Amino acid sequence: MKNEWEINNLPNRLTIFRITLIPIIVLGLSVSIPESDFFSLGARKIWSLVAAITFTVASITDFFDGYFARKRDIITVFGSFLDPIADKFLVVSSLIMLLALERINFLIVILLILREMYITSLRLLASQKGINVPVDRWGKYKTATQMIGIPLLMINDVEIFISLGLLGTIFIYVSCFLSVFSALRYSTKLYLKFKLIRYNQKHESGL
């Protein structure tokens, strides 16, 4: 493992770059609000496309920063702290803007945001106890469906054999199901690890 306090490395630079893309996404979707009379319909569609492309680029950097971190064994405190925060800022800000554009259901947004807050709280609790519960494949599926569904909703008025807005909605609903399912699995795994630790502590104290 490299210096765990190192900041200036490729994975961390990709994470920082991802954060800098978030304002572009928010700006693009803000311009796309129908009530905005300052921009023409064509301009709003272009800015929606800019937001969707920017989100896609940000999602790709999310994949590659993790890939390079594992491949080059560059796991740092800074990256471990900032990477999940960047992911949540990216997704939550996009969901809120899509809600403002009335392209996503309010309850879905609330559920997805609450899920992220819940899992983040559990991770903090686990880290304080020195417990590591890695993300399983269902959590990765959840992320993948979000990263596909969100940009599709950003360009919801485009039709290529099927409405991209409809396709995006389907992906988001699948993501919602996977969010709940993966959260339950994570909670169960964490509970079992806590239970095992308590059992071992009682067993050792009884010796």
In this structure, are strands 162-163 and 159-160 parallel, antiparallel, or unpaired? antiparallel
Q: Provide mean pLDDT across the span 177-202.
A: 88
Residue type, 71: K
pTM of the entire structure? 0.85
At 1 the pLDDT is 47
Q: CB-side exposure of 35: number of CA atoms within 13 Å?
A: 4
| Helices and strands in the chain, H and E counts | 6, 2
Q: What is the pLDDT of residues 88-118, one digit of tens each?
A: 899 999 999 999 999 999 999 999 999 999 9
Here the tokens at position 157 are 């008025």
Q: Which domains are assigned to the chain?
A: 10-205 (1.20.120.1760)
Sequence-distant (≥ 6) Cβ neighbours of residue 23 within 8 angstroms: none
